[in-house]
Amino acid sequence: MILLEQQIKIIDMTERHIKEVAQIEKVSFPTPWPRQTFEFEIFYNELAEYMVALDGHKVVGYGGMWMVLNEAHITNVAVQPRYREMGIGRMLMLSLMQRAASLGADRMTLEVRPSNGPARDLYHSLGFVECGLRKGYYQDNDEDAIIMWRERLNEKYPNQSEV
C-alpha cells in the first residue's frame, strides 16, 4: 500500500480527465452519468468540486461533491476495477473531506446502496453514520439508498488516516 500511495496523486478534475472518468463511471454504475454531465459539473456547476486519482497520467478513480452552505454532498466516487481494494477510494474520500472542510463545510452526506458492502465499510471507517433511507432511490432496480452523514468534518475520526 505504501508504494501505491506514493504513486497515486489526487488532483482537481479538468477537461482532459473527462473521457477516462466517463469510462470508469460506465464500468462502475448500472445507470452511469454521461460525459456531458461531468462537463456540466466542472464547467458550469459552481457548487461542484471534483477530483481524480492519477497513476502517472492515467485516471484510476474520481470523486465529486456539491458544496451547499456548510454541507458537502458526495455525488459519486468510483475506482477503475483493477485498482480497487488498494486504498484509492479512501484517498479520494479523505481528499474530498479535507477540501470540504477547507471550504467551510462542517458535515458531509452521501447515499449508498445497501448491497454495496465495500463502500459502506469505507464510509463507516471514515466516521459516517447511517441516518436514513431513501425508498426506491436507484432507478435501475428500485433499490433503496442508505443516507449517511459525517458530522464535525474538520475533526479527525479515530480510524481516519491522513492523505
Please give the tally of structural domains in the chain.
1
Active-site residue identified among 50, 62, 83, 123: 123
83 in catalytic set = no
Answer yes or no: is 117 within a domain: no
111 in catalytic set = yes
Q: Tell me the C-alpha distance between 109 and 133, whole Å.
A: 12
Active-site residue identified among 5, 71, 111, 130: 111
Answer yes or no: is 80 within a domain: yes
Please compute the mean of the pLDDT values over residues 64-82 and round it to a whole number: 97
E strand segments, the chain: 8-12, 48-55, 58-68, 71-79, 107-112, 129-134, 145-150
Answer yes or no: is 27 within a domain: yes
Q: In CATH, what number is assigned to the domain containing residue 8?
A: 3.40.630.30
Residues contacting residue 130 through CB under 8 Å, at least 6 positions apart: 120, 146, 147, 148
Answer yes or no: is 20 within a domain: yes
Please compute the mean of the pLDDT values over residues 8-22 and round it to a whole number: 97
Answer yes or no: is 133 within a domain: no
Answer yes or no: is 124 within a domain: no
- pTM, two decimals, is 0.91
Answer yes or no: is 67 within a domain: yes
Q: Is the dihedral of CA 81, 135, 141, 139 positive or negative?
A: negative
pLDDT of residue 2: 40
On average, the pLDDT of the chain sits at 91
Segments forming the whole domain that contains residue 25: 2-108
Answer yes or no: is 87 within a domain: yes
pLDDT confidence bin for 1, thresholds 50/70/90: very low
